[in-house]
Chain A
Amino acid sequence: MRKSWLPVGFLWLVYTILILALVKYVNVLPTQWAEEAQVVDEAFLLLMYLAAPVMAMVLAVMTWGMIAWRSDGADREDGPNTHTNRIVVTTWLVLTSALAIGVVINPGFIGLAEIRGEPSSDYVIEIEASQFFWEVTYPNGATSFDELVVPAHMRVRYDVNSTDVHHSFWVPAFRVKIDAVPGITTRVFATATAEGSIEDDINLRIQCAELCGAGHAAMAMPVRVVSDAEWNEYITSIGGSG
């Protein structure tokens, strides 16, 4: 009766270790270019680690079922008449609830607090979305339709709105995203951590991430991260009130 516990437990352990090793040694995440990206990636990896034993358990039962519980043909008998097992059900409920509560706390609320951060910022850049282009307005009033240039190591608040339908301001390299909503200004914070451009990483781009019509897929704009000094020079050079 208890003979399956041991092999299934063993398979569970093996699968858990395998999946944990995969998560640890195979990086699926793209390069981080902002502090917010670190928060998101940490949360992502934590969830992957927590998922490992859960996946492993299902896989272990499936594997052992295929190996050892086969019973073919018309002459097969009924299995054991087990309707339930109070200890197993209670343990399961306690463990899954604990896991759910754990995930709500970390990465849940801890990640939420970190990704949201302080409401203060060093600069404010306005982003206005229209079908199908982005307009960037820098603190000095200078505007650009070609690229978004941001200072490294500075906390920038992006004030986002839309002139027509919903769009979404998303810089994959920063991992942050907020919808552009007509009539409302939404905001999101990001602190770039290294200098670079779309030449270095395809994810250094603004990509519209809310279906907005025919040109949605092409509604992208390169992002360039430069030093604070270069950035000030740049925004002055393209105009505005200085």
Chain B
Amino acid sequence: MKYLVRAIVFGLVGYVSGVWLTLAVRGGDPTDEVAVVFGFILALLGWLAGIGGLEAFGRQWIGKTPKLSEDHTWRRYFQFSGDHKVIGIQYGVTLFAVLLIGGLVSMIMRIELAAPGMSIVDLEEFNKLMSMHGILMIAVAVAGIIGAFGNYLIPIQIGAADMAFPRLNALSFWLVPPVAIGLLSAPLLGSFDAGWTAYAPLSVTNDSGQILFNLALIAFGLSSILGGLNILVTVITMRAPGMTWGRLPIFTWAGFATALLTFSVTQFFAGALTLITMDRVAGTNFFGPEVGTGILYQHIFWFYSHPAVYIMVLPGLGVVLELVTTFSRKPLFAYKTTVGALLTIVGLSVVVWGHHMFTSGMADFLHGPFMILTEAISIPTGVIFLSIMGTLWQGKLWFRAPLIMTFGWLFNFMIGGITGIFLADVATDIYLHDTYFVVAHFHYTIVGGAIFALLAAFFYWFPKVTGRMYNDKLGSIFAVWVTVAFNFTFMPLFWVGINGMNRRVGDYPEAYAAANKFASISAFILGASFLLFVGNMLWSAVKGPKAGANPWNARTLEWQVSSPPSHHNFLSQPVIVGHPYDYGGDGSPHVIFPDAEEPPDEVSLEEASV
């Protein structure tokens, strides 16, 4: 823990020095935004140096050998470890905690929204809660699957000992806690009320908490970019012998597609937020109220933030595709077409941002092209559905918690996809834009698409990561519970949206009272379901039965090594000799270990008692 303590101390010292330096140079007050900016920057550097950056990078700068955490006890999770499995768990636990905090914020929102009129907060406080909920959940959705499972699994699935740049990987993760701390401490400066979208000029003129939003998100962007770069280089250069692109597991393909996006578009959000930060502290006027460039901000913002939707959903697609093939015991249907679809989604996702702006006042001639391109995305998305349904078709479906979650995902993402068409169509979007229809739609795609996949992934890979099996009966109950409660919460919100209730409001006309009350009660039931999930996971991680190497009898590489995998994953070099999903084939393996002395320990399915 000494590194964590050192990180906190260095961070605090950095913050105080930044503020002190600013005051020494220009005077003013410690809560001035410019002081906060320099405080945050130095705090971030101090934190990174303290947690282990000094040893991992600093030593090299003075000619010594860099050092990463070598600890093999539980303490490594609080250190600057380059081990991709440690980093995966760090991401998973941190972001799940953020998910729970964001969920609690939404519970407060639903209490307020349970009836018209104001009860526990005022309109302004509601906007701040809404903005906090939004950005925390966006962070979870952006980095949850790719940060936790991408880091943990991609090197194993391709037969590599680790990621290409372990130190950079550690840096990507250790940037995340300051992001969470920055966002959660924004209420000290009056919080931010401009939504997660931070539209200018509102975000230029609102309370000082906005500055912490900007700084935190820029740091988060850096983390995403470095993480994306790492995954790209790892997948391109570190595949085991025989791991051709045509044999790459679909989750790794999805992670690769995601990394292409995070690496190339995150800069735009960070750039837009930098300009807003400059407007607030440096006297520039890029997006001030009198300039009339608010639409430009929206263009830059959505140029990142529409692809960001796919950054959230693509890893989810990878998880679901991986799960249907394992639990149907059939090859992934139309593998090559599906990979093509994932890459087509990447390509199209960067040219459709304008559909968020049909009512923004942007030039009329842009409406048609953005509508065509947006609706074109339905074609590759349809291929993903074809692949899922084709894989399920006459398969041997094993209804365990991961597959039940996948069925919930399938239903939710279908609703999310279909309602997306209404928002791609100009005529209907002009009406539905900024209503609760949009709120329901993106919860169906992002919670239904990304978070459901994240939960399914927790179940599916739990035995691999912990070496123990979760309780599947409780897991299955949770899977049904969360799916039903989710639908009861968000289905009525389509209706209130269609009937004229706008989003981001703490109060609404009496006409929408009944549906909102229903949604609120369902939301509390939805929130409660997570107690069951967390309880199951925690208890099983300690007391669950030993799971063995391959409890699901899956073919991909991560299941051919021990649970949890050894340090650097493989005792001997894996060689890829076949397709990862050749279920029902001639029994030829996906991978062999030519130099292995003995195969990894096998526990039969009965013993694993799944």
Which residues 196-241 of B have a CB within 8 angstroms of A? 197, 199, 201-202, 205-206
- Highest count of chain B CB atoms <10 Å: which of A66, A70, A97, A165: A165
Q: Who on chain B is nearest to A204 by CB? A: B500
Give the chain A neighbours of B389 by CB distance below 8 A.
57-58, 61
Q: Which of B24-32, B265-273, B274-282, B582-590 sits within the interface?
A: B582-590
A216 to B199 CA separation, bound complex (whole angstroms): 14
Give the chain A neighbours of B393 by CB distance below 8 A.
4, 61, 69, 82
* Interface pair A65/B427, CB less than 8 Å apart: no
A151 to B426 CA separation, bound complex (whole angstroms): 26
Give the chain B neighbours of A103 by CB distance below 8 A.
375, 378, 421, 425
Nearest Cβ on chain B to A123's Cβ, whole angstroms = 21
* Interface pair B499/A111, CB less than 8 Å apart: no
Q: Who on chain B is nearest to A214 by CB? A: B124
* Interface pair A92/B382, CB less than 8 Å apart: yes
Does A54 touch B at the CB level, under 8 Å? Answer: yes
Does B410 touch A at the CB level, under 8 Å? Answer: yes
Does A229 touch B at the CB level, under 8 Å? Answer: no
Does B62 touch A at the CB level, under 8 Å? Answer: no
A78 with B504: in contact, given A88-B390, A93-B379, A186-B361 (CB under 8 Å)?
no
Does A84 touch B at the CB level, under 8 Å? Answer: yes
A82 with B201: in contact, given A111-B427, A179-B359 (CB under 8 Å)?
no
Does B61 touch A at the CB level, under 8 Å? Answer: no
* Interface pair A83/B333, CB less than 8 Å apart: yes
1/0 per residue, CB under 8 A from B, across A50-84: the answer is 01001101110110011001111010111111111
A106 to B542 CA separation, bound complex (whole angstroms): 57
Give the chain B neighbours of A89 by CB distance below 8 A.
334, 337, 386
Q: Which of A39-47, A133-141, A142-150, A230-238 sits within the interface?
A: A39-47
1/0 per residue, CB under 8 A from A, across B320-355: the answer is 000000001111011111000000000000000000
Does B295 touch A at the CB level, under 8 Å? Answer: yes
* Interface pair A164/B201, CB less than 8 Å apart: yes
A29 to B588 CA separation, bound complex (whole angstroms): 57
* Interface pair B502/A209, CB less than 8 Å apart: yes
A203 with B500: in contact, given A47-B421, A82-B330, A186-B361 (CB under 8 Å)?
yes
Does A228 touch B at the CB level, under 8 Å? Answer: no
Q: Which of B40-48, B155-163, B430-438 sits within the interface?
A: B430-438
A215 to B193 CA separation, bound complex (whole angstroms): 11
A184 with B398: in contact, given A55-B418, A177-B430 (CB under 8 Å)?
no
A43 with B379: in contact, given A79-B330, A211-B504, A216-B123 (CB under 8 Å)?
no
A8 to B329 CA separation, bound complex (whole angstroms): 20
A78 with B330: in contact, given A182-B292, A213-B193 (CB under 8 Å)?
yes
Give the chain A neighbours of B425 by CB distance below 8 A.
43, 47, 103, 107-108, 111
Give the chain A neighbours of B93 by CB distance below 8 A.
none
Does A168 touch B at the CB level, under 8 Å? Answer: yes
Give the chain A neighbours of B605 by CB distance below 8 A.
74
Nearest Cβ on chain B to A44's Cβ, whole angstroms = 5
* Interface pair B428/A210, CB less than 8 Å apart: no
Does A156 touch B at the CB level, under 8 Å? Answer: no
A217 with B422: in contact, given A1-B394, A104-B375 (CB under 8 Å)?
no
1/0 per residue, CB under 8 A from A, across B499-511: the answer is 1101011111111
A-side interface residues, number (CB < 8 Å): 85
* Interface pair B583/A183, CB less than 8 Å apart: no
Give the chain A neighbours of B509 by CB distance below 8 A.
202
Does B294 touch A at the CB level, under 8 Å? Answer: yes
Of B367, B383, B399, B498, the residue contacting A30 (CB under 8 A) is B498
Query: Which bracket fits the contact residues of B?
Result: 35 or more
Give the chain A neighbours of B502 by CB distance below 8 A.
170, 207-209
Give the chain B neighbours of A99 by CB distance below 8 A.
378
* Interface pair B394/A4, CB less than 8 Å apart: yes
Does A116 touch B at the CB level, under 8 Å? Answer: yes
Does A121 touch B at the CB level, under 8 Å? Answer: no
Give the chain A neighbours of B504 by CB distance below 8 A.
211, 216-217
Of B293, B334, B505, the residue contacting A216 (CB under 8 A) is B505
* Interface pair B434/A218, CB less than 8 Å apart: no
Q: Who on chain B is nearest to A30 by CB? A: B499
Does A212 touch B at the CB level, under 8 Å? Answer: yes
A29 to B394 CA separation, bound complex (whole angstroms): 40
* Interface pair A176/B378, CB less than 8 Å apart: no
A-B contact count (CB 8 A): 276
Does B289 touch A at the CB level, under 8 Å? Answer: yes
Does B291 touch A at the CB level, under 8 Å? Answer: yes
Does B414 touch A at the CB level, under 8 Å? Answer: yes
Nearest Cβ on chain B to A180's Cβ, whole angstroms = 8
Does A166 touch B at the CB level, under 8 Å? Answer: yes
Does B545 touch A at the CB level, under 8 Å? Answer: no
1/0 per residue, CB under 8 A from B, across A146-189: the answer is 00000000000000000011101010110111110111101000
A83 to B334 CA separation, bound complex (whole angstroms): 6
* Interface pair A104/B372, CB less than 8 Å apart: yes
A82 to B197 CA separation, bound complex (whole angstroms): 45
Of B205, B395, B418, B506, the residue contacting A217 (CB under 8 A) is B506
* Interface pair A216/B359, CB less than 8 Å apart: no
Does A6 touch B at the CB level, under 8 Å? Answer: no
Does B595 touch A at the CB level, under 8 Å? Answer: no
Which residues 146-196 of B have a CB within 8 angstroms of A? 193-195
Which residues 291-328 of B have a CB within 8 angstroms of A? 291-295, 328
1/0 per residue, CB under 8 A from B, across A186-228: the answer is 1000000000000000110001111111111110000000000
Of A96, A175, A217, the residue contacting B507 (CB under 8 A) is A217
* Interface pair A177/B123, CB less than 8 Å apart: no
Does B407 touch A at the CB level, under 8 Å? Answer: yes
Does B411 touch A at the CB level, under 8 Å? Answer: yes
* Interface pair B205/A165, CB less than 8 Å apart: yes
Nearest Cβ on chain B to A221's Cβ, whole angstroms = 13
* Interface pair A165/B383, CB less than 8 Å apart: no
Give the chain A neighbours of B335 by CB distance below 8 A.
83-84
Does A85 touch B at the CB level, under 8 Å? Answer: yes
* Interface pair B430/A40, CB less than 8 Å apart: yes
Of B386, B396, B410, the residue contacting A76 (CB under 8 A) is B396
Give the chain B neighbours of A114 by CB distance below 8 A.
427
A217 with B329: in contact, given A29-B498, A104-B371 (CB under 8 Å)?
no
A211 with B359: in contact, given A81-B585, A111-B428, A176-B431 (CB under 8 Å)?
no
26 chain-A/chain-B pairs, Cβ below 8 angstroms: A4-B393, A30-B499, A43-B427, A47-B421, A51-B418, A54-B414, A61-B393, A65-B407, A74-B604, A77-B329, A78-B585, A79-B395, A81-B330, A82-B330, A83-B331, A85-B333, A92-B386, A104-B371, A175-B431, A182-B201, A182-B292, A182-B294, A186-B361, A211-B193, A211-B199, A218-B123
Q: With A74-B605, A211-B197 given, can you name 13 additional A-B contacts, CB distance below 8 Å? A: A66-B397, A66-B399, A71-B329, A81-B582, A81-B583, A81-B584, A82-B390, A96-B383, A115-B427, A166-B199, A181-B294, A184-B295, A211-B199
Which 7 A-B pairs have CB atoms at the shortest separation, nearest pair first? A183-B292, A111-B427, A172-B500, A217-B505, A74-B605, A71-B396, A214-B124
